[in-house]
């Protein structure tokens, strides 16, 4: 049992302070996985002090959902140096912690990583306990299984939080499998109103994101390899949103990069058909090696991945497209 391993480590350490960390601009899957895990830990250790934080704070949508559920849990300054135990949630690479990455690396405290992305070598090396499940639709799905393994009943708020995290990461259940749907049924039985909860995930797109998507189309470069259409583009912000938009326009693979000062951010997306027919896993096969080449880190899912590093945008996009073509050949 995965949760037994966590609780065994906690029993052994007898920690006073646990710090739960999410990736930068944390999405609903990350923040609600952290929230529900904190609630589970407190069931067994009510006196435990827990800091929850997201590098660069939560995303706009996550803030909206936290306010709607009246969950006030995030701190701006997690006590990493004082922590007896550090837990990374939905965080594939240490670079996704931004300014906290070095503090986590330097910490002498044990580290638990809980994630549903493809395993990253550095994270594996760093973690005392690495709990990974690529078959899970989301990290929230994994946390739900922890509750079930420990035979702990969910509150309505916890159930709604897990529902929203799973719904977000599965794109409103487009990427869900039979296990996920069984979990959703069980969450609804706890008291989640599915229609109401799903409506909370729809926020009007702000002006700057619209501009970024349109600029990505304007700057787009198109390559055809066999019957696959692969596009690359550059925008200064909202790279992941722009990549999703390019997929919806008809691309099979979209790579969008941006640069602030010297730091590069690259988002990669592909359609499910591309992954199933080529076997190319964007996180493992493209983002991971690309991250190493640009002195950073990369990782993610089979059809959605990200890379952070240093270098020239155009040269990095070219490298990325070359990696894709090498894999296709």
Residue 186 belongs to domain with CATH number? 3.90.1640.10
Residue where a domain stops, chosen among 141, 170, 199: 199
Contact assessment for residue 226 and residue 200, using Cβ atoms and an 8 Å cutoff = no
84 and 214 co-located in one domain: no
Residues in the chain, total: 329
Query: Does 221 lie in the same domain as 177?
Result: no
- H or E segment to which residue 129 belongs: strand 129-132
SS3 for 283?
helix
23, 30 contact by CB (below 8 A) = yes
**Given 199, 229, 256, which residue is the final one in a domain?**
199
- What torsion, rounded to 10 degrees, do the Cα atoms 103, 40, 179, 171 define? -60
Using the Cα atoms of residue 219, residue 247, residue 317 and residue 137 in order, give the sign of their dihedral: positive
Residues 129 and 267 in one domain: no
Of the residues 168, 199, 230, the one at which a domain ends: 199
Domain count of the fold of the chain: 2
pTM value is: 0.82
**Domain check: are 180 and 102 in the same one?**
yes
The parts of the chain modelled with pLDDT lower than 70 are 1-4
Is the CB of residue 115 less than 8 Å from the CB of residue 94?
no
305 and 173 together in one domain? no
Q: What is the pLDDT of residue 263?
A: 85
pLDDT of residue 2: 64
CB 54 within 8 A of CB 25: yes
Measure CA of the first residue to CA of the last residue in the chain; give whole Å: 41
Domain that holds residue 174: 2-199
Task: Answer yes or no: do 38 and 180 share one domain.
Answer: yes
14 plus 159 within the same structural domain: yes
């Amino acid at each position: 049992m995965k949760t037994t391993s966590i609780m065994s480590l906690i029993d052994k350490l007898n920690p006073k302070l646990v710090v739960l960390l999410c990736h930068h601009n944390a999405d609903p899957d990350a923040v609600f996985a952290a929230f529900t895990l904190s609630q589970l830990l407190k069931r067994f250790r009510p006196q435990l002090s827990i800091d929850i934080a997201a590098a660069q704070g939560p995303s706009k949508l996550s803030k909206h959902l936290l306010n709607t559920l009246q969950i006030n849990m995030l701190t701006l300054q997690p006590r990493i140096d004082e922590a007896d135990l550090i837990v990374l949630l939905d965080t594939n690479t240490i670079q996704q912690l931004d300014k906290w990455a070095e503090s986590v690396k330097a910490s002498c405290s044990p580290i638990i990583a809980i994630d549903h992305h493809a395993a990253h070598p550095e994270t594996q090396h760093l973690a005392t306990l690495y709990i990974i499940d690529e078959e899970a639709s989301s990290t929230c799905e994994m946390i739900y299984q922890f509750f079930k393994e420990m035979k702990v009943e969910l509150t309505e708020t916890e159930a709604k939080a897990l529902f929203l995290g799973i719904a977000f990461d599965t794109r409103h259940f487009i990427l869900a499998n039979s296990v996920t749907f069984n979990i959703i049924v069980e969450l609804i039985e706890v008291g989640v109103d599915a229609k109401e909860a799903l409506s909370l995930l729809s926020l009007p797109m702000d002006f700057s994101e619209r501009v970024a998507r349109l600029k990505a189309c304007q700057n787009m470069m198109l390559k055809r390899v066999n019957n696959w259409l692969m596009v690359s583009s550059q925008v200064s912000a909202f790279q992941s949103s722009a990549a999703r938009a390019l997929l919806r326009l008809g691309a099979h693979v979209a790579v969008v990069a941006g640069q602030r000062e010297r730091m590069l951010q690259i988002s990669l997306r592909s359609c499910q058909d591309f992954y199933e027919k080529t076997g190319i896993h964007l996180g493992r096969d493209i983002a991971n090696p690309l991250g190493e080449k640009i002195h950073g880190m990369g990782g993610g899912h089979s059809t959605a991945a990200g890379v952070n590093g240093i270098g020239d945008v155009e040269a990095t996009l070219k490298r990325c497209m070359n990696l894709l073509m090498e894999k296709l050949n």
